[in-house]
Amino acid sequence: MRQYFLGMAAEYNFRRILKHTFARGREIDCSRLRQFLASKYGGETMLCKNGRSALALALKAYFEPGDAVIINGFTCYAVYEAVKAAKLIPIFADISKDDLNFEMKKFDTLLPKKPKGIIVQNSLGNPVDIVAIEKLTKKYDLMLIEDMAHCVGVKYSDGRECGTVGIAAAFSFGKDKVIDTISGGAVTFRVPVKHRIEAPNVTPKKSDHLRARFYPLFGGICRGLTQIHLGGLLMRFLVAIHWVEKSADNRLDLKRRISKFEAKLALEQFKALGRADESPIRRFYLVNNREEVLKQLAYAGYHFDGLWYKQPVSPERYYKKIHFPEETCPNSVYVAKHIINFPNYYSKSDLESAMRIIKPFLVEEDQWVGKTS
């Protein structure tokens, strides 16, 4: 029986594992990646340790400490951490169950808090209504920053590409992102910054470098051992001894930059993505009795239980730190308890059996959300 995975470097086949493990980068690869992003997205670019560091630099460049910014009510702790690192106040906005992006009709309730900006994340690659967002930014003088972790290569409904609209675009190259080199990130400043920002120039810690280098190999071994029910056990052991780091635990650091070999691989992936026919949008579904669904999926070979979304701001172990306003974000709470998302690296035929399993549990009418890349 073929096995399918969400996580454990599932997008890395044997050839890609070898390429990643033995990749050699040089300083010129970092320069080429900076130049590519500066040209493609139209602005000065800095390379960063990870996506949250890139987002924090973008926020620090344009906002004053104490400013409030609107963020998605269904998001990752990394976004919240970046906002706090920039000494800003996060305002959580509830989402639509249709595309996991902002519920536009509720925006008026946020305005009394006097936000100065808004972060658009295009959840799971599903693009926001950018025209409506831009109208709001102009009406209320909000600065717009695009979080590109999920949406590199995605286009808005008006034809513009994500990353070409806001004052800045922050990229994550972490695990399971569109551009996946295990860690790393970048930020492109598309308009002149208000505050001078030092470019990260400290080399990565040796331990971080090695974890990024060998994670695809470890992930591939764990996937193979899943057939004899040892894959998950080995992965938990590797996490316990710090040979593997959970994505949410990749610390924010404004001084360190990406590894040179990751810069080389990131540039290759950007160029390859530009030749793809379709955008990397993930399919998602809302289901009842999610634990039972995941159990049945695993029995059929679909190991999709590594869910990011057990709480509106995930992972769950950080949720209590946030004091999330559940009463004003009911859709975000609901979606976090019912969502299942499929990876974008499997074809529709690969997922046919999975669809048959979840269909009886669907909360809403069976429909595909997004396309497969």
Q: Which amino acid is at 255?
A: K
The pTM score is 0.93
Q: Would you state the pLDDT for residue 183?
A: 96
pLDDT at 91 over 70: yes
Q: Would you state the pLDDT for residue 324?
A: 96
Residue 117 near residue 70 (C-beta atoms within 8 A):
yes
How many angstroms separate the Cα of 225 from the Cα of each of 17, 131, 152, 240?
A: 16, 48, 32, 18
Mean pLDDT computed over 123-140: 94
pLDDT at 205 over 50: yes
Mean pLDDT computed over 354-372: 71
Tokens of 247: 């994505």
Cα 360 to the chain's mean position, in Å? Answer: 29
Q: Would you state the pLDDT for residue 372?
A: 34
Q: Would you state the pLDDT for residue 247?
A: 86
What's the burial of 201, exposed, middle or buried (CB within 10 Å: 0-12/13-18/19+)?
Answer: exposed
The proportion of the chain whose per-residue pLDDT surpasses 90, expressed as a percent, equals 83
Mean pLDDT computed over 242-256: 93
pLDDT per residue as tens digits for the range 264-296: 999 999 999 876 556 667 889 999 999 999 999
DSSP 184: -
Residue 314 near residue 340 (C-beta atoms within 8 A):
no
Q: How confident is the model at residue 371 (pLDDT cuts 50, 70, 90)?
A: very low
pLDDT at 100 over 90: yes
Which stretch, 119-133, 269-283, 333-347, has highest mean pLDDT?
119-133
Q: Would you state the pLDDT for residue 279?
A: 60
CB atoms within 10 A of CB 135: 12
Q: How confident is the model at residue 79 (pLDDT cuts 50, 70, 90)?
A: very high
pLDDT per residue as tens digits for the range 11-69: 999 999 999 999 999 999 999 999 999 999 999 999 999 999 999 999 999 999 999 99
Tokens of 176: 């399971």
- DSSP for 42-69? TSEEEEESSHHHHHHHHHHHH--TT-EE
Mean pLDDT computed over 312-320: 92
Alpha carbons 37 and 33: distance in angstroms, whole number = 6
Residue 25 near residue 261 (C-beta atoms within 8 A):
yes
The helix/strand count (H/E) of the chain reads as 11, 13
Residue 160 near residue 131 (C-beta atoms within 8 A):
no
Alpha carbons 48 and 169: distance in angstroms, whole number = 13
Q: What is the Cα gyration radius of the chain?
A: 20
Mean pLDDT computed over 333-358: 92
Tokens of 99: 């595309």
Domains and CATH numbers, the chain: 24-189 (3.40.640.10), 283-361 (no CATH)
- DSSP for 170-186? EEE--TTSSS-SSS-EE
pLDDT at 366 over 50: no
Q: Would you state the pLDDT for residue 310?
A: 87
Q: Would you state the pLDDT for residue 373?
A: 32
Q: Would you state the pLDDT for residue 280?
A: 66
Q: How confident is the model at residue 302 (pLDDT cuts 50, 70, 90)?
A: very high
- 48 closest CA partner among 118, 144, 148, 154: 148
Alpha carbons 188 and 191: distance in angstroms, whole number = 9
Q: Would you state the pLDDT for residue 364?
A: 66
Mean pLDDT of the chain: 92
Tokens of 98: 């249709």
pLDDT at 339 over 90: yes
How many angstroms separate the Cα of 138 from the Cα of each of 51, 104, 134, 178, 312?
A: 27, 15, 6, 30, 28
Q: In this structure, is the dihedral angle defined by the CA atoms of residues 317, 123, 338 and 361, taken in order, positive or negative? A: negative
CB atoms within 10 A of CB 221: 17
E strands in the chain: 4-5, 44-48, 68-72, 75-76, 89-93, 117-120, 143-147, 168-172, 185-189, 283-286, 302-303, 313-314, 339-342
